[in-house]
Chain A
Amino acid sequence: MLENVLFPVKCSESLNRLTEMAGFLKIFNTKSVSILHVGSAKKEKQKTFVEALKTAVLNLGFQADVTIKNGNVVDEIITMAREKNTSFICFAYKEENPLKRALFGDVPTDVIRLSDIPVFVYKGPPPFKKPQTVSRVMYTTGLSDTDIKILNYLKSKELKADELLLFHAGRRAPDPQAEAERIEKVHERLSLLEEQCRGSFSSIEKRDAVGSSVTKAIVSQAKKADIDFIVLGKSDKYSPFQMMAGSTAETLPHKSKCPILIVPGIYQGIASMT
């Protein structure tokens, strides 16, 4: 399902961390890694860097190839993903100054916004902690059509996780009665999702929260429930505020402490698996 990955890298990144991320990809049963570096191919240092990474990836048991391109980084990533028909794109998240991000932009955020295939954002373990394992997965559902597509992924045997937390963060209804009805509907839909995921996980839990910031609710819930990995759907409908500040999918990688897989609603790769 997520067999081949596009792996855009920068020479300023730590080789160890990128290798660590490649190791993490095994939970998806990924087979081949396409390493992409966008920059000047003439610089010897860059060539050496990507070749070293290729060797490290091959040593982990993946097939690997390297491409070095010139041009706009985001455009090249999206074009290459389409050309190579990769299953998903992955990034090793690097903490950036928010002001710098606002002024100069941020490649992962732009790729998340533009990509029509899933994007995986790797967040390494905190310092002095052992490498991450995936035991508890949280699927943050908008209770929309995207669920059908993501369910297939969650149910696939390739995702090696034991426990699933189905989480919905919604907006409060305008009055107590409507709110009670909304909560009832949310519980019904979460139960339906639980029913469909049964058998794929040893335990499934359902939770919901209310608030104006979905990102905040997800981060807080992931922390509370000690989540290892978040799966999130991406909507193409933006509110005026989201147009300015970014959608949940775009803002979550900057706030979350654990890795995230963002799946676009129109993603055909997953839909075709149904």
Chain B
Amino acid sequence: MKKNIVFVVSLCIVLVLVGIGILDPEFLNSVSSLLHQWIINTFGWFYLLSTFVFLVFSIGLALSRYGKIKLGLDYEKPQYSYFGWFSMLFAAGMGIGLIFWGVAEPVSHYMSPPGYIQAFSGEAAKFAMSRSFFHWGLHPWAVYIVMSLSIAYFSFRRGMPPLLSSCFYPIVGERIYGVTGKTIDILAVFATVFGIATSLGLGALQITSGLAFVFHLPDTLFVTAIVITCVTVMFMISSMTGLDKGIQLLSKTNIMIALVLLVFMLVTGPTAYIFNVFTSTLGDYFSSLLSMSLTSNPFQGYEWTKNWTLFYWAWWIAWAPFVGLFVASISRGRTIREFVSGALMVPTLLTFLWFSVFGGAGLNLQINEQIPISDAVADNISTALFVLFSHYPLSSLLSFVAVLLLIVFFVTSADSATYVLAMMTSGGNRNPSPAKKIAWGVTVSATSLILLMSGGLESLQRMSIAAALPLVVIMLFLVWCILKGLMYEFREKDSSL
């Protein structure tokens, strides 16, 4: 029992909250709304500041003398090739979200920017693209880097179990094995379960919309339930084959499909326009990085910042334990410099290209060809991508490929989440038992499905975002812990105690 305390307690918390969501979704909705609003209103600035600190810290660490330190023993070599590593980074970190928001987010910002910008104007389009870059660019990866770097350093270099609590040894010492450590791990499990359940629920809705577009299936909850069931079976099979085979293979396949789709859209779409969007937005992004990082628009447009930027920041932080643990587990043997620069630059560049191609194509339809794609976004945000495809050659094939991408990203996210949850609740065992993987896989899918049907999915998302508040504090301590660990290495070299 004591050995499985994290597993039992976190499973109980999840079941209680899911139970409330089934029995009284209204109650869960009002409580979660209140909590979410209070946190975002009161601590929004804290999220902004902390995320900026994570970015500065990551870049500073990579450039410092600590950049040479390996996430593993000095003689160890990276376990995965660059392509395998980047594919898995991307698939676990934000693959499914990019497909969902690639068209929808820029178009949403274009039609509903903050109050100080006129909607449907050139300024709104510029704003829409730079904010999409901002929300999906360097900052989310900096959040992931802080988490994954800490876990990788303390587990691979310092020989501790790959758990969030292990990173706190320099501060709390042996108490990581007590209540303090278990509480940290339970919080990480809680945020991961609810984060992944929400994401899977939203992903399933988009797959259903895609299937309705391609195969004219009814866009109903029943079809969504079938989608979730099928995908659950798929990710459970992938999960049983282990990290080396299942996730890696699926991630590589997915990245290749995504790249093919990207290139196709670039070539058949308004190529020059897309490159113009890419270069201009890149310039805007870097020139206004500091102001974007720290602006919450307190005078006008704070609502917009709350609904988008602060929501994203809380979301990335809530996802950080899952992505952090997963990314850590695939990054053994890399130096800190290689890890930070790779995780910060490559996925960000790919994300920028993705938004330029899909967001740029969406804005081109809206602005230059007078096709109101914004109506589709306003009507049903998950159909935006398919509406865009309908104006391109081979639209059915493109929609089919997009659905396939969604399913595979869905499977890789759920697969890696199941692996991470089983590892977190097995005391950091890198080969958790299949029973635990099945238990978490079923729990996550069932949670997603039940709450989708009872209408409690958004409440769950808000609860997971509420968990971001303690997590951001934990992450600031992580920065301190990793610095203490790295400084110790150099102190040890100087043989001063």
Interface residues of A (CB under 8 A from B): 142-144, 168, 170-179, 182, 185-186, 189, 210, 212
Contact = CB atoms under 8 A, between A and B. Distances in A.
A189 B154 contact: no
Given A143-B497, A210-B173, A212-B171, A177 B159 contact: yes
A175 B497 contact: no
Contact of B488 (A142, A168, A174, A212): A174
B158 A172 contact: no
B154 A144 contact: no
A178 B497 contact: no
A173 B174 CA distance: 12
Contacts of A168: 497
B65 interface: no
B169 interface: yes
A37 to B, nearest CB: 41
B485 interface: yes
A178 B173 contact: no
Contacts of A171: 170, 484, 488
A189 B496 CA distance: 11
Nearest to A173: B488
List 8 tightest A-B contacts by C-beta distance, closest first: A175-B158, A174-B485, A174-B158, A143-B497, A174-B170, A170-B497, A175-B160, A174-B488
Most buried by B among A173, A177, A185: A173
B496 A144 contact: yes
Interface string B482-497: 0011001000100011
Given A175-B169, A178-B158, 15 more contacts: A170-B497, A171-B484, A172-B169, A172-B170, A172-B173, A173-B170, A174-B169, A175-B154, A175-B159, A176-B174, A177-B159, A178-B492, A179-B173, A182-B497, A210-B173
Interface of B: 154, 158-160, 169-171, 173-174, 481, 484-485, 488, 492, 496-497
B169 A176 contact: yes
Q: Is the interface of A mostly helix, strand, loop or mixed?
A: mixed
A142 B159 CA distance: 27
Contacts of A144: 496
Contacts of A178: 158, 488, 492
A171 B169 CA distance: 11
Nearest to A237: B496
A179 B497 CA distance: 11
B308 to A, nearest CB: 35
A248 to B, nearest CB: 15
Contacts of A173: 170, 488
B479 to A, nearest CB: 14
Nearest to B482: A174
Given A210-B173, A212-B171, A174 B154 contact: yes
Contacts of B160: 175-176
Contacts of B169: 172, 174-176, 179
A189 B492 CA distance: 15
A173 B481 CA distance: 10
Contacts of A175: 154, 158-160, 169
5 contacts: A171-B488, A172-B173, A174-B481, A176-B169, A210-B173
B23 to A, nearest CB: 45
A64 to B, nearest CB: 42
A210 B173 CA distance: 10
Contacts of B484: 171-172, 174
Contacts of A210: 173
B99 to A, nearest CB: 39
